[in-house]
Amino acid sequence: MTKEQMIERYRSGYATDAHLDTAVEMEILTSEEAEVLKAERKDAGGIVKREEVEAMKQEITAVSLKVDEAIIDSDYRLLMLETMNMA
C-alpha cells in the first residue's frame, strides 16, 4: 500500500490509529505524518463530528416530545369520547 492510499483510507474512516502505527513500523509513513493524521481526526471529532451527534440528539428529543404530546392528546380525546358515550 502506498502512502497516499493509507492516508486516503484513514481519512475515509477505513483505517484506524493502529493501522497508522503499523504503517509507521513498515516505514510507509513517518511518525510525524501519523501524528498529524491522528490530530486531524481528533480535531474533526472522529468519523462523525461531535456537533453533528449533539444536533441529532436535540432533534430526537424534539421529535420525542412531539410524539408524547400527540399521545397525550389522543388519550384525552378518547377519554372525552368514552365519557360522552357513558352519559
C-alpha distances in angstroms, 75 versus 49, 62, 68, 86?
39, 20, 11, 16
What are the φ/ψ torsions at residue 27 (nearest 5 degrees)? 65, 30
What is the model's pTM? Answer: 0.50
Q: Tell which phi-psi region holds residue 15, choosing left (phi > 0), alpha (psi between -120 and 50) or beta.
A: beta
User: What would the pLDDT profile of 16-61 be if each residue is shown by its tens digit?
Assistant: 999 999 999 999 999 999 999 998 887 765 566 778 889 999 999 9
